[in-house]
Amino acid sequence: MTVQVMTPVPMIEPSSWLRAGITVEKVEGVNLIKFTDELHTRLEELLEKRKAQLLTAAEEAEYAGIAELERILTFINAKLIANRDN
């Protein structure tokens, strides 16, 4: 059995964007959770700066939180799509 090593990553709590950063949109009869245009744009800005290795520590924490929220929403949306016919 492989032992998993957890490395703490400083991040802004993903839940801090729940009220103003996400929206629900019906796509092919399924309600999906998506980023608002503003949060999506911010993620793209941070990603470009990250690729250029120009993020400050505060921006890295912001990027980590938004990226984690994106992973969570992707998982939830996959579950919603998988269950749409049930």
For 37-67, the pLDDT digits (tens) are: 999 999 999 999 999 999 999 999 999 999 9
Report the chain's mean pLDDT, rounded to a whole number. Answer: 92
When pLDDT is cut at 50, 70 and 90, the band that residue 70 belongs to is very high
Could you tell me the pTM of the whole model?
A: 0.86
Helices of type H across 1-86? 37-51, 57-82
Rounded to whole angstroms, how far apart are CA atoms 76 and 32? 8
